[in-house]
Copies of this chain bind each other. A is one copy, B any other.
């Protein structure tokens, strides 16, 4: 990347301001200079839409139709019926079959499918998630875990929605720990049947979309037991209701009732009392049982087999990452539009100030705008890798493992990020933000569960940490702790980070010390990369050293040692995910032609990168990676340069999200606020001009 920034360096002094040339020493000067630049909104919009722009546009056009829009005044039952009806419309519009085989009417298009699917969140997250249940989980499990005969027998009904289906994995007693589910599927050789059974209350399947009402069948995850041996969790196709909607014999359930959000989905519970299904209803791609009850699998390791089966479900995490990003775009479109029209309090003149001209308001919204761009670019790369794996183009155990690590790193960051962004947007719009008609509260309520379903975020980050440690250990197999320690400030940790696919860090960090001392250190791209990379490398190396004794301890003591560092493990994984986002942003930036747009996006990327460093400043300071002066300079650079510069282009940057009025639908972002402001200002101007304005008591006193 070429440095295009024209501004002065930030020097390392306690009071940096006095060292800057006067002509650019204030936020106002930074803003004025920035205002001369012109962002190419149309070009940027296409850049953001990415590889599957067409699929996204088709999906956006579809959900621009009012019949898909969330309606707040519906009862639970009405909302559920409405969303079911919308799903049927999606089928008739051929909107949800892209990922299925062409011979069943699909297009074998995995990336395009997810891209189109994510956009449904703009209509109603319930619509998105209920179609995710039907086609992304229920039908996808048939496709990916089943074989030929299952596809023939079950896919058509699942695809057409003739058979709404539940994805019966989670149990009341086991959420993210799927390997421990209690439901059993015991093979009865005599009858050539599986006996699906729920042995106790905690083993009831729970939180399943389509289970309370609409589901006719379910893919049930259960411990496969044959000939007295438990081969672990496998998936079974189990009919649960008849055409009249009554439970089949042995099947029971409950309605989960009202939820914190997503109430267009009929989540519920299922339990099974010795329910029998034919042997061939085992979805047998990764494990099968023959008439004699003998088990076979193409994957001999039970652990690897389990993770392979679950790995086919990674698309849930891909699409949540994308949907969370889209919801964040919508939230910022609303809050930033409003923030540029709404006026409140005066600032030195009789005119009231526009909210986004307040530093605090910039601090609240603009770093989140930078974060949303990072989420968007990271998601695009994530989706690309997903497509290359699922299309078979690059489908190896190693790429699958990378894909899952990326999913486990990005989904927590974007889903938590969306909740935070929606909430800040809500508060930034004040009372208006709390009105349902302005959508922010409902979106936040709906997306709340994204943080804990499809893998609890804290559990996913531990998977990332485990992978980072494993890669680190592989690199140093046989090395002693002393030998390892010397690498900590060197390039050693690269192994832990590089293999995760999204990043291709070329340079060593051995030159860290000298770079760190250079003037202007805090803001160039290489320094950001070095700091963010070193944060991950060093944390992993430190944790590896602390956890090294575990191999010599009893299982209980080893578990206690790990537990003692659990929080740091999660923080390291989080930092890794943030690095992935930063690198994706930086790669996307490299593709932007030289010019104003690139300059503005560079500032935005810098705001994201320096914002991450500022957030973790204590870590960098404790580890001697930043001096106190440099840490302070980063904050000053954000406040005095980046925020005022980016504020000038905030409307264009949300404009590039391409959200039309039909997709936004929030009255406060419709221009109504501008009209109100204009009317009020015109009223006072006319009153002043008339000479009949009441005199202010204060001016009276000074007369």
- A residues adjacent to B (C-beta < 8 A): 26-28, 72-73, 75-76, 170, 172-177, 180, 182, 199-203, 206-207, 223, 225, 228-232, 256-261, 302, 344-345, 347-349, 352, 357-360, 363-364, 419, 423, 426-427, 430-431, 433-437, 440-442, 444-445, 448-449, 451-453, 456-458, 554-560, 563-567, 570, 614, 617-618, 621-624, 628, 631-632, 639-640, 675-677, 679-680, 683, 694-698, 700
Partner of A173, one of B201, B628, B676: B676
A64 nearest CB across to chain B (Å): 22
Q: List 19 A-B contacts (CB under 8 A).
A: A27-B564, A72-B258, A174-B344, A180-B345, A182-B680, A182-B683, A200-B683, A202-B680, A261-B434, A348-B554, A359-B566, A360-B570, A430-B456, A564-B639, A617-B622, A618-B621, A618-B631, A622-B632, A623-B628
Q: Assess the B679–A302 pair: CB atoms within 8 A.
A: no
Chain B residue contacts of A436, Cβ below 8 A = 257-260
Rounded to whole Å, the gap between the CB of A536 and the closest CB of chain B is 18
Provide the bound-state CA to CA distance between A370 and B445, in Å: 27
* Contact for A202 among B176, B359, B566, B677, CB less than 8 A: B677
A566 to B259, alpha carbons, bound, how many Å?
A: 39
Residue of B nearest to A419 (CB): B423
Given contacts A445-B260, A679-B202, contact A452 B437 (CB under 8 A): no
Given A430-B175, A436-B257, answer yes or no on A676-B202 (Cβ-Cβ < 8 Å).
yes
Are B559 and A348 in contact (CB-based, < 8 A)? Answer: yes
Q: Is the CB of A359 within 8 A of B564?
A: yes
Q: How many copies does the complex hold?
A: 2
Partner of A694 from the list B172, B225, B623, B676 (CB cut-off 8 Å) is B225
Contacts of A435 in B (CB 8 A): 256-260
B76 touches A76 (CB 8 A): no
**A73 contacts which chain B residues (CB < 8 A)?**
76, 258
Contact call A560/B680, Cβ cutoff below 8 A: no
Other 12 A-B pairs with CB < 8 A, given A229-B700, A360-B567, A618-B621: A73-B258, A177-B344, A182-B680, A260-B441, A302-B697, A349-B555, A363-B567, A427-B452, A427-B457, A434-B448, A567-B639, A623-B628
Pick the contact of A434: B27, B358, B452 (CB < 8 A): B452
Hey, which chain B residues are within 8 Å of A206, CB to CB?
431
With A170-B431, A631-B622 as known contacts, state yes or no: A348 contacts B557, CB within 8 Å: yes
CB-defined contacts of A180 to chain B, threshold 8 Å? 345, 352
* Chain B residue, CB-CB nearest to A700: B229
Chain B residues with Cβ under 8 A from A257's Cβ?
72, 435-437
User: Which 3 pairs between the two chains have the least Cβ-Cβ distance?
Assistant: A260-B441, A348-B559, A258-B436
Q: A200-B680, A559-B347 are in contact. Are A260 and B229 (CB under 8 A)?
A: no
Interchain CA distance A661-B344 in the complex, whole Å: 45
A26 & B175 in contact (Cβ 8 Å cutoff):
no
Complex contact B437–A449 (CB within 8 A)? no
A344: which of B176, B199, B228 is its contact (CB, 8 Å)?
Answer: B176
Least distance between A289 CB and chain B CB atoms (Å): 13
Chain B residues whose C-beta falls within 8 Å of the C-beta of A557 in the assembled complex: 348
A139 to B652 CA separation, bound complex (whole angstroms): 48
**CB <8 Å contact, A172 and B225:** no
CB pair B229–A695 under 8 Å, yes or no, is: yes
Q: Chain B contacts of A359 at CB under 8 A? A: 563-567
The distance from the CB of A640 to the nearest CB of chain B, in whole angstroms, is 7
Q: Kindly report which residue of chain B lies nearest to residue A617, judged by CB atoms.
A: B618
What's the least CB distance linking A334 to chain B, in Å? Answer: 14
Cα separation A449 to B430 with both chains bound (whole Å): 8
CA distance A100 to B55 in the complex (A): 64
Complex CA gap A341/B452 in Å reads 19
Chain B residues within 8 Å of A679, by CB:
200-202
Chain B residue at minimal CB-CB distance from A569: B360
* Residues of chain B within 8 A of A624, CB atoms compared: 628
A679 to B434, CA, bound (A): 44
Asked if B358 and A566 make an inter-chain contact with CB atoms under 8 angstroms apart, the answer reads yes
Contacts of A202 in B (CB 8 A): 676-677, 679-680
Residue among B174, B177, B347, B697 making CB contact with A563, cutoff 8 Å = B347
Q: What is the distance, in angstroms, from A435's C-beta to the closest C-beta of chain B?
A: 6
B555:A261 contact, CB within 8 angstroms = no
Question: By the criterion CB–CB under 8 Å, are A676 and B172 in contact?
Answer: yes
Known: A175-B344, A449-B434, A560-B26. A697 touches B232 (CB 8 A): yes
Name the B residues within 8 Å of A622 (CB-CB). Answer: 617, 621, 628, 631-632
Q: Say yes or no: B260 contacts A680, CB within 8 Å.
A: no
Bound together, the chains give a CA A104 to CA B86 distance in angstroms of 58
- Could you tell me if A448 and B426 are in contact, using CB atoms closer than 8 angstroms? yes
Interchain nearest-CB distance for A429 vs B (Å): 9
Chain B: minimal CB distance from A615 (Å): 9
User: B628 and A695: CB pair below 8 A?
Assistant: no
Q: How far is the CB of A133 from chain B (nearest CB, A)?
A: 14
**Which residues of the other chain, B, contact A430 by a CB distance below 8 angstroms?**
175-176, 452, 456
- Which residues from B are CB-within-8-Å of A696? 229-230
| A260→B344 contact, CB < 8 A | no
Chain B residues closer than 8 Å to A177, beta-carbon distance: 344-345, 352
Residues of B within 8 A of A426 (CB): 260, 448
Q: Is the CB of A431 within 8 A of B453?
A: yes
Chain B contacts of A700 at CB under 8 A? 229
Taking a contact as CB atoms closer than 8 A, the residue among B28, B260, B360, B444 that contacts A442 in the complex is B260
A615 — nearest CB in chain B belongs to which residue? B618
In the complex, what distance in Å separates the CA atom of A700 from the CA atom of B232?
Answer: 12
Chain B nearest CB, measured from A143 CB (Å): 25
Chain B CB within 10 A, most for which of A72, A347, A694: A694
User: B203, B230, B348: which contacts A697 (Cβ < 8 A)?
Assistant: B230
